[in-house]
Each structure stands twice: as structure tokens, then as C-alpha cells.
Amino acid sequence: MPKSDTQTRRGLERHGLTDDQLKAIFRNMLLQRQLDNRGFQLNRQGKVPFALGSEGHEALQAGAAMAFERGKDILAPYYRDLGLAIGIGLSAYEIMLSIFARADDHNGGRQFPNHYSSKKAGLMSFSSILAAHIPHAVGAAYAMKLRNERGRAVLVTCGDGTTSEGEWHESMNFAAIHKLPIVMLVENNQWAISTPLDQQMGQPNIYKRAEGYGMPGEQFDGFDPIATYEVVKRAMDRARTGGGPSLIEGVCYRFLAHSTDDNDMTYRTKDEVSEHRKMDPVPKFERVLLDAGVVTAEDIEAMRKDVLRETNEATDKAESMPYPEASDLYKHLYEGAWQPWL
Amino acid sequence: MAVAETQKSQVLNNVEAVRETLYEAMKTDERTVILGEDVGNRGNVFLITKDFVKEFGPQRVIDTPIAEASIIGIAVGMAMEGLRPIAEIQFADFIYPAFNQIVGEAAKTRYRSNGEYTCPLVIRTPYGGGVRGALSHSVSIEALFYHVPGLKIVAPAFPADVKGLLNAAIDDPDPVLFLEHKKTYRLIKGEVPDGHYTIPIGKADVKKAGNQLTVVSYGLYVHWALEAANALEAEGMSVEVIDLRSIRPMDKQAILESVRKTRKLLIIHEDNKFGGIGAEISAMVAEEALFDLDAPIRRHAAPDVPAMGYALPLEEEYMSSPNEMAEVMREMVKF
């Protein structure tokens, strides 16, 4: 027997999220999946040399992005953060410019896809070298604190693999010493390319390291966008109001291979992947929203169509744009024109 | 450098020149922060930032944990978000853990973001030997970094150059590695003009004019090369000594002009010979001025061993000396 709207609404623990915000989270998740798939399709079509997906991270990233305050906060993401990038304001078109390496891409087609950068959006430029961006985020948080900018915080993310790096540790330690306005969000998808968690660390609960640094730590279900939002929001609010840093860990799973250049069946089993697929956060959250009466089946259908339309338009438009000029290779090395000394 | 007669100046050593310049930067720009190991409470191991923390506070003079990679990494993040960090690596030998942050991050920030983000960062570090610094407190690191586009590298030898180039580095919108030769710190004194002035990064300086041989050097060895050149002058030989001051970008024109005049080139540096700065200069001169030369190019530099040993004979064997330099110069002049 279907529950009434009111009953279900009371049953859904929404942590202050409005219907519109819940819909926006779900739309973000749909768009992530569509854009991910598009990247892989374009790679198979031979149109782009490389693509990388974040399937399995949709709920975590869409929920976390909802706790980000545009125009105030800074995001220091890593290369598997499509949902955070679009969640803080990057358009599907900007994502496609990155995938196609076009001249109008924020990086001018210099970096791999997924290495987003947008000063306007508060998204810090980063490289492919894992954990190198974490001290950058800490430095940005230090600048905020030095300038007494209450109400702002830095959200820095990484995968489980990055938590093995020395700079990860150094950054946590420094952030704790200075009680910086920063939230370290670990997206634990349980695989560092081919290396499983138990070969990466003796203590698989990454958030427990927080105690060692002297900051709050918390773990949450990264397949649940509302739970994610709640934990990230609380940590960001703490950071914004002078309460210092937090280490929070969302547990999810990497459904796809590491990238289009990886075959995950060489190191993990189909069974393992399909076991986790049963918990796929996208259909799961769709069901939650339907059950709660936040959306109807028709709404969902319309959203899917709209996301596909947006992806198609972004793909066509980005593909039609020019590559950077060969002479662009020489730009932006230093301020001013390139003057080789030899 | 020429000091106008009306302009006031004072005699400072290199430590004092660095200190005065840093002090002015801290005083005039509140975005400036200094971070590194023991820069606050202790005031730096050479006392360069002594008492800064009392005046500017621990928020702007930051004693960091012992973690070089993140000293630079955090400074990069500060620079990307509007501060003007001056990071210190306590001894150049300790810079290796920060290699990626310098080469992979700071040097590429502007480039990889297509100019959207920049990294106005100064990394100061004392380098060089002759102070019984052993394997890990005496190395020269410039050759490890001069290969890297996106970086600038400065290694002045005279107090007035230290101040002018450190000011230029602090004002520079891109990352600058600022190398301070620690044997020159208190040994070398000179007139330093008062007030703010800059010396352009990438400009060499002819410290002694001559017409029979061009000697190119930087750091401590400029002083020793000058000593040697002066000794040769008494013997009737004329040697030109060029102080590079900047290693990247390098003043190619100054080198070529001098070589076309003297027709002989000797490069002297304390860093290892193989793959050192001298290798690049010789290749450049061979490419551009081979037929202007009257003698083979020579490099007088350190042997191919990791660094100088702690024991005095090991240090002396690694280091050159004014006498050794004079001997090589004589051979070349007579060639």
C-alpha cells in the first residue's frame, strides 16, 4: 500500500534539504553518470585519447557539493571529482571542453580531462600528482584565517590511495596545529588503481587517524547523498565558524576501471563489482525520492531527458570548438611573453 | 653596482642584506608571510629573521613542523590564494623532499591553469660549502632545478646584489628559488644602498673587466675568481670576471659579448661538473660563438662525487681555491 506524501516526508531524514535541493542532488548524480558514459563512449569512438569516470562516487559528490557555498568556499578536488565540479557550478560544456582538450578549456587543453580549474568557481588548479594539492588547500585555508575571513572554508578531497602520501600527513598535521578552516573529505572507493585497501593501510578506517592529529573524524555512507551532505555540512560549518579542521571519510566504491587505459578484471572479480553494483547509489536515491514523494516517475523521466539533452548539446558544442594553436604551447610560462634564454 | 653619491648606503654583510630586505617586505606588504623551520622563535639558524616574530607575530612568521614538502606545498597554496609567501628551506640539502612541490607544482601552476592561477613564491635556502658542512650541509642544488621551465633561480654573491635581487624575487609574480651561499653570509661585506631597489632577474654583472679571458661564475666562487684574477693582473694578465647572479633565466648576451671580446671562456662553479651550469653555458657558447674562440672552453668545477666530506682533506679536495683558479686561468691566458 503506497504511503501518503506526508507520512513519507516525515519518514525521510532530509537534514534541512528542500525538495529543490534534493532534486538538484539527484540531477547532479544523473548528469555525472551521463557525462562519465559520454567520456568513455568518445574514447571508444576514437575521438578522445583518454577518459576517467567517477561512477560510484555520485552520491558522495552531489551531497558534498550541496554543502559548498558558492562565491565563498574554495574547493581543492582531485581527478575523480566530476560531481563536485558540476555541483559547485561548472557546466557540462566546461566538462566537455576538458574532455576534448579544446582551446576554451580552463587549462587551455594542457591537462588531462577531469583536472578542472576555475578561479571564478573557487576551484583550485591541481596536477595529477597525488596529495600534492592537499598542502595547497591548507595554504589557502591559512590565507583565509590570516585575513580573518570568517564564513569561508576550504573543502579538499582525495581518494583512499592518496592518504598514504607523506604530504597528506604533513597537511593534516599543519591544519590541526593552526586550527584552519578546512575539511579533508576522503572518498574511499576501496581501490588505488589495482591495490585494495588492505594493501594500502593496516587500519582501514581512515577517519580514525583524525584522533592522532587532534581533529574530529567521522565516517559515513558515501552511497547516501543526504548522509554525506549532513556530515560535510556540519564539518564545513565548524570550519567556517572557527572550529578548525575535520577529517571525514565517505565509503563508496569504484564501479569502473581506473580509467579507459585500465582493465580492472586483471585484479578484481566481476562478482565483487556486481555485489557493489547492487548498492548503486543512483537507482537507490531515485527510489528514496520516489518513496518520499519528492519526485514522481514523470519528473524522473523528464530529468533524464534533460540531462541527456544537456550532455548532447555540450558534446556537440565542445567538439565543434577549435583546439589550442600550436603556438599556445609557449604561453603562460611566466608573466609576460615567453623569452627562452637559449 | 654603482651607487649614486647622493644616495645613502651602509656596509652590510650578506646575512644583514637578506635580513634587511625581508624586514622591509614584511613591513610594507601585509600579504607577506615567512614560513620555515625555526624561522620564528629561534629567528632562523643564522639569525636572519631574529625577533621578526616579536614584531610581526607568529601568524606571519611561521615556525613550521619539520616537513619540507609541505612547507613549500603550503606556500604554493598561500600564493595561489593571494598571499606573498617567502618560504625557507633551512639548508639546501633538505630541499629534496620538496622537489615535487617546486618542480611539479610551483613551476607549473601558471602554465597548467593557462594563466588562471599564479604562484608568486620565493624559496630561500642557504647552500654551498667551505664551512665544514659535510655531506648534508654543504651541497649546491642549482643544477637539479635549472632544467625546469617555470622556475627562476637567483644566486647573488655581493650584499648589494642580494638586496636588489631578493627584492626582485619578492616582487616577481612567479616562483623564484633564491640561493644564499652560506660561506659568504658573514665573510662578504659591501656597500648596500638604502631604500627599496631591485636588480632585474636574469642580468649578469661584470665584476672585473679584462680582455684575455672570460671567467663566468656565481656565488662564493665569484669572490675567489676575483682574487685569482687580481693575482694574475699583477703578473700582467687581464681576466674578465662575470658574476651570473641569475642562473635561470641566464644572461646569454653578457656571456657572448664578453667571449667575443676575450675569445676564451672558463666557467667556474662549486657544483659538480657533470651536467652542471657550466655544461649548458659551454654548449650555448659552442653553438653560438665557436668561431670566435681561440681556445677550447674549460670548466673548472667539482669532481663527480656526491658532495664534500666532513674531514678537512675531503672538503679541500672537493672545493677549489683562489690558487687553483689562478692556475687554470694562467694556462688559458697562455694558451
- Distance CA(B291)–CA(B284), nearest Å, equals 13
Tens digits of per-residue pLDDT, B210-230? 999 999 999 999 999 999 999
Average pLDDT of chain A to the nearest whole number = 95
Which grid coordinates are listed for B246?
641569475
Task: Identify whether the C-beta of residue B206 lies closer than 8 Å to the C-beta of residue B255.
Answer: no
Mean pLDDT of A314-320: 98
The answer, yes or no, to whether residue B133 has pLDDT greater than 70, is: yes
pLDDT level of residue B4 (50, 70, 90 thresholds): low
Minimal CA separation from B290 to chain A, in Å: 16
- Residue A5: the pLDDT is 42
* Stretch 187-246 of chain A: residues touching chain B, C-beta under 8 Å: none
The answer, yes or no, to whether residue A117 has pLDDT greater than 60, is: yes
pLDDT level of residue A65 (50, 70, 90 thresholds): very high
Closest among B277, B25, B85, B154 to A138, alpha carbons compared: B85
The answer, yes or no, to whether residue A175 has pLDDT greater than 50, is: yes
Consecutive H or E run containing A309: helix A297-320
B60 contacts A125? CB cut-off 8 A: no
- Distance CA(B258)–CA(B246), nearest Å, equals 17
- Distance CA(A234)–CA(A228), nearest Å, equals 10
- Residue B6: the pLDDT is 61
Task: Identify whether the C-beta of residue B320 lies closer than 8 Å to the C-beta of residue B224.
Answer: yes
| Peptide bond before residue B249 is cis, with ω within 30 degrees of 0 | yes
pLDDT level of residue B5 (50, 70, 90 thresholds): low
Task: Identify whether the C-beta of residue B325 lies closer than 8 Å to the C-beta of residue B228.
Answer: yes
Burial zone of B127 (CB within 10 Å; 0-12 exposed, 13-18 middle, 19+ buried): buried
- Distance CA(A113)–CA(A85), nearest Å, equals 12
Tens digits of per-residue pLDDT, B177-192? 999 999 999 999 999 9
Tens digits of per-residue pLDDT, B71-81? 999 999 999 99
Mean pLDDT of B28-33: 98
Cα distance from N-terminal residue to C-terminal residue, chain B? 32
Residues contacting residue A328 through CB under 8 Å, at least 6 positions apart = A103, A108, A109
Consecutive H or E run containing A316: helix A297-320
- Residue A6: the pLDDT is 39
B82 contacts A139? CB cut-off 8 A: no
Task: Identify whether the C-beta of residue A90 lies closer than 8 Å to the C-beta of residue B88.
Answer: no
Minimal CA separation from A73 to chain B, in Å: 12
The answer, yes or no, to whether residue A9 has pLDDT greater than 80, is: no
Closest among A314, A304, A258, A286 to A59, alpha carbons compared: A286
B81 contacts A108? CB cut-off 8 A: no
| A335 touches B: beta carbon within 8 Å | yes
- Distance CA(A323)–CA(A320), nearest Å, equals 9
Question: Which residues are registered as beta bridge partners of B13?
Answer: B189
Task: State percent of chain A over pLDDT 90.
Answer: 94
Residues B183, B187, B193: CA angle, nearest 5 degrees: 115
The answer, yes or no, to whether residue A339 has pLDDT greater than 80, is: no
| B248 touches A: beta carbon within 8 Å | yes
Tens digits of per-residue pLDDT, B259-283? 999 999 999 999 999 999 999 999 9
- Residue A3: the pLDDT is 42
Set of chain A residues whose Cβ sits within 8 Å of the Cβ of B254: none
- Residue A337: the pLDDT is 78
The answer, yes or no, to whether residue A210 has pLDDT greater than 60, is: yes
| B108 touches A: beta carbon within 8 Å | yes
- Residue A258: the pLDDT is 92
| B6 touches A: beta carbon within 8 Å | no
pLDDT level of residue A1 (50, 70, 90 thresholds): very low
Consecutive H or E run containing A232: helix A225-240
Consecutive H or E run containing A317: helix A297-320
Whether B269 sits among the annotated catalytic residues: the reply is no
Q: Which of A167, A177, A342 sits opposite B69 (nearest CB)?
A: A167
| A167 touches B: beta carbon within 8 Å | yes
- Distance CA(A195)–CA(A21), nearest Å, equals 36
Mean pLDDT of A242-267: 95
Closest among B261, B269, B291, B267 to B281, alpha carbons compared: B267
Distances, alpha carbon B152 to alpha carbons A318, B87, B181, B249, in Å: 36, 15, 17, 6
- Distance CA(B167)–CA(B195), nearest Å, equals 11
Mean pLDDT of A215-226: 98
